[in-house]
Chains A and B, each alone.
Chain A
Amino acid sequence: MLKIPPSEFKILYEEYNSLVRSVIYQIAGPKYLNDLVQEAFIKIWKGLPGFNEHSKMSSWIYRIATNIAIDSRRAATRRHEEFGYDFGQIRDPRAGADKELENRQLVQQGLESLSDDHRVVLVLAYIHERPLSEIAENLGLSEGTVKSRLHYAKTAFAEYLKSKGAVA
């Protein structure tokens, strides 16, 4: 009865699961991660039969994951829920990992300190290295707006690091 054979869908899931997970986690935080990842793959599954531009598959999947994460953040903001990554996930037992751990916590806290709009563009442009034109299209914004948001996001992030004494 399924339009996409489960075996093909599983290949797609395995290929893009970490990407979808990572985008949703970095934009929306850990709270509803598993539900949102499932929702994203259901959307992918629903949209797949009509999707024939396989060269743009990753761009399309980024769009789905990003929009689900943004919608979740908006709903969380309406409920006055705080944004926060799960620091329990970044403990590193290796010897000499203290500095790395400190840097990771600093980066995560820096991202947390940003507004949702700024975090989204910084995550997509700098962590996932998506082109600005694609980010603009996926967010329904002009490229100029994305550039401007990215500029303010970088400034705010650098300010945060400076306030923590991490940069001169």
Chain B
Amino acid sequence: MSQFNDDQLKALLQKNQPKAPSAEDGEFSQILARAKTIEKSRFKLQWVGLGSAIAASFLAFWISIQQPNELQDIAMPTEQISDDFDLYNEEWPTMDVGEDFIELASNN
């Protein structure tokens, strides 16, 4: 081989290209079997997904019809929150312990 141009390099590579060993017998059957397995698992997965979605919807519906009052109570409290400041104006008990206690303390 001497110095070559693009076409000669192409010809050299094509003529002497690495040749892959031929396919094993039954290669297509193996591919087909794998394809079928994948298809089956995809099919199963679709049904499992659909079943889960139905079950989740049913559960949500069941919860909503079983506990309407509790849910309503949470949403709408019956006791109104008071903003009445009269509470602070009430007379609170004082710390008056009385004469008896003072006497008792001084005796001890």
Contact = CB atoms under 8 A, between A and B. Distances in A.
Contact of A1 (B4, B23, B34, B36): B36
Contacts of B15: 103
Interface centre among A30, A90, A107, A129 (most CB of B within 10 A): A107
Interface in B24-38: 24, 27-28, 30-32, 34-36, 38
A33 B21 contact: yes
Given A1-B39, A167-B4, A6 B32 contact: yes
Interface stretch (A36-44, A55-63, A136-144): A36-44
Contact of A13 (B12, B28, B40, B43): B28
B17 interface: yes
Q: DSSP majority for the A interface?
A: helix
A42 B21 contact: no
A137 B90 CA distance: 84
24 contacts: A3-B39, A9-B32, A21-B23, A25-B20, A30-B21, A34-B23, A34-B24, A42-B38, A46-B38, A85-B18, A86-B21, A89-B20, A90-B19, A100-B16, A103-B12, A103-B16, A107-B12, A122-B13, A126-B9, A126-B10, A126-B13, A127-B13, A161-B1, A167-B4
Interface of A: 1-3, 6, 9-10, 13, 17-18, 21-22, 24-26, 30, 33-34, 37-38, 41-42, 45-46, 85-86, 89-90, 100, 103-104, 106-108, 111, 122, 126-127, 129, 154, 157-158, 161, 166-168
